[in-house]
Structure 1
């Protein structure tokens, strides 16, 4: 498993010639599947700013390796920032605020989201992700035990 905060800022390089394509700026997620569908790139010159997760060969300790830069599928994302996950407000499906999203644990091979880590120290299973909007990340916690970890501090 890997933390999103560890992946952000890593160089993205071509498996063919080790050409620098950009750096990981974030991820694009399909909430209904709790699955990474693409990585957002920072510093991608002359190309779009997204590369499909299917084109990611490996997420290593030093870099993210993709197929040949010319073969990778690039596209432009919207500028709404709705997929900027870290630091985004977390809401339950009932509208209750449960802090902010501190980090995300994901499987670097499959792209499946394993755990959402809250600013309050809770851990929410990735499959409980319901949606990502410009204002907040919405999670399902109605069933008991959905939020794991220490309770929030008493004010």
Structure 2
């Protein structure tokens, strides 16, 4: 814990993870609560399926074949723009690329802001030092 009594982000994350693990164990120990949990998960899955957030494969092994073909295509072809990824039916990759690009831009903005602050501080320091040197030169002349 930090001095102010608040948890750091890492501590809070660990605490939540531990809490969730204990809660799941407790739910799994009771048959009624386990059945409720499973029903809840089924409903969540069905809702995702309705929204086309989950891709279902009708033939066993089709999923692995699709992945293999996609991996082969990715190795054979040069990196494509996000638009062509969406056109090829690989929306997930396009979204991942977009979020990665957004993250990189945000990191770049943060670094740039830090550097601008550093430049401003150094310029301020330079002004102060130049004033000091002018004062020293002025006092030695007169």
Would you call these one fold, judging by a TM-score over 0.5?
no
- TM-score (norm: length of structure 2): 0.18
TM-score normalised according to structure 1 size: 0.17
Give the number of the structure whose residues are more often strand, by fraction: 1
Computing the radius of gyration from Cα coordinates, the structure with the larger value is 2
Query: 1 or 2, which has the higher helix percentage?
Result: 2
